[in-house]
Amino acid sequence: MPGRLRIARCRLITPFQDLPEGELVLEGDRILYAGARQDHASEAALDAEGRLAVPGLIDLHLQGAGGSDVLDGTREGMRTIARTCARHGVTGFLATTVYRPGGDNRHLPVAAASCRSAAGAAAGEDGADVLGLHLEGPFISPEKRGMIQPDCVGPVREQTLTELLRLCGGALRMLTIAPELPGALEMIRRLSSQGIVASFGHSAADYVQTAAGLKAGIRHATHLFNAMAPLRHREPGPLPALLEWREVSLQVISDGVHLHPAILRLLAGLVGAERVVLITDGLQALGLEDGSYTYNRQPIVVSGGTARSPDGTLVGTSLGMNRLIQRYHGFAGCPLAQAVRAATFNPACVLGIQRRTGSLESGKSADLALLNPDFTVWKTWKRGRLIYAQS
């Protein structure tokens, strides 16, 4: 069990407050104090030297990092992903992957075991927690599958859900689904009744079909604007329904490529601080240099932190969450606290874990990161244990 640590002289973003002269006190695995700087006379402290203190970042859409992919199906690969996440200030993530109907799905029990390990792990584990699994499909539109391969797409069937639930062993937290598919609305209701987040995505649904999905229980949207019909004035598509339904949280890839900066500005103004959830849509290249990689046995090229297939299809990013906060803040023109909230408290709310993590408040888990002025990560703590320190 970690001891007591005082972190002094930080710019503290809780994210409900932005305190230029803040202070944190950690006691064991909890936050004892988070607020304005106090006078402790000669008491020893870690001097943050004005660095930015933020809650531990939470990524709801991460397929790989550090050269490894959830699809690799190895425990060491999952550890590599978790350690790479910690380098970017992330203390928890959803392992995002696919299900192959009738095919090889050995990666799912491995990822699920990583979730169970995180739940009961020794406090000194040197990586982010795997908070659960997020499956993109298989109940998605073939015409909006993007880089998801055809063998990972299938019709909505009860026996398919039963099998993937068995493989995930209780770790499935989110499933991306297209509501226009036959049987999808009943499937959305079943997912919702079991506490699994039904997320709109990879869908060819129109406005009416999207609204029906929302009424059935969809409360989240996977990488908004991407892999869905565009907004047209006489054929509005899914976007107006998703934007006007206030209970729906919206995944956003803020690299400036998946969404133009003007769209990011518009979105921040339309939906405010509560509904945007930043994601990396991270691939095995996350944390590595630009270059050639693979995803699900298919070649991809990463340039400027954004990944594409050879035909130009956008695939995801290699950018850490710390960088996407920086870009969202810059492109959207929103307060930094709003950008931080989109990567901390908002995703915690999606998973229903906001009472224990996602913000820097007394009594909450000591999950936090200190960022340098250039948004690189100086240190990351998970449950009061230092899991990354910049060398």
Which residues participate in catalysis according to the annotation? 281
Rounded CA separation 90/2 (Å): 19
Q: Give 133-185 as a DSSP string.
A: EEEE-SSS-GGG-TTS-GGG-----HHHHHHHHHHHTT-EEEEEE-TTSTTHH
Residue indicated by tokens 């936050």: 31
Q: Give 172-232 as a DSSP string.
A: EEEEEE-TTSTTHHHHHHHHHHTTPEEEE-S----HHHHHHHHHHT--EESSTTTTSPPP-
Rounded CA separation 344/324 (Å): 12
Residue indicated by tokens 């944390």: 287
Contact 20, 11 (CB under 8 A): yes
Rounded CA separation 299/191 (Å): 33
